């Protein structure tokens, strides 16, 4: 469905945009596959390092360091808002958000 006429020159740019978006979608799919493979490899390496009590590995090309987990103290914003709505609202501030363009390639 065409809502308005962009003109012939602009239509070419829209077609190029469609092509670029399709290429990006294909790269995104490939990226997800590679990230899944990376996660599996990291798990294997992590378990091997733990089993051999190795904290750091460096072969000149890659450096891998295992860090122990720890407890982090985070601020529970949602609970604070529920318990102290007036005080929470006192510290809210308005932030301007720039407009944007949403592009969806269909088919």
Break the chain into its structural domains and give their ranges: 8-66
Q: Would you state the structure tokens that stand for residue 51, as one six-digit string?
A: 């089993």
pLDDT average, residue stretch 58-82: 94
Binned at pLDDT 50, 70 and 90, residue 6 comes out as low
Global pTM reads: 0.64
Residue 106 or residue 16, greater confidence:
16
Q: Would you state the structure tokens that stand for residue 60, as one six-digit string?
A: 């000149």
User: Above 90 in pLDDT, residue 98?
Assistant: yes
Q: Which range, 31-35, 61-65, 102-106, has the best average confidence (pLDDT)?
A: 31-35
pLDDT average, residue stretch 62-78: 95
């Amino acid at each position: 469905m065409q809502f308005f006429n962009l003109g012939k020159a602009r239509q070419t740019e829209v077609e190029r945009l469609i092509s670029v978006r399709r290429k990006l979608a294909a790269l995104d799919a490939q990226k997800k596959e590679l990230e899944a493979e990376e996660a599996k490899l990291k798990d294997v390496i992590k378990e091997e390092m733990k089993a051999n009590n190795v904290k750091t590995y460096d072969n000149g090309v890659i450096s891998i360091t295992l860090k122990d987990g720890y407890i982090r103290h985070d601020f529970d914003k949602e609970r604070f808002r529920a318990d102290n709505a007036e005080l929470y609202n006192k510290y809210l501030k308005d932030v301007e958000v720039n407009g944007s363009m949403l592009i969806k390639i269909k088919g």
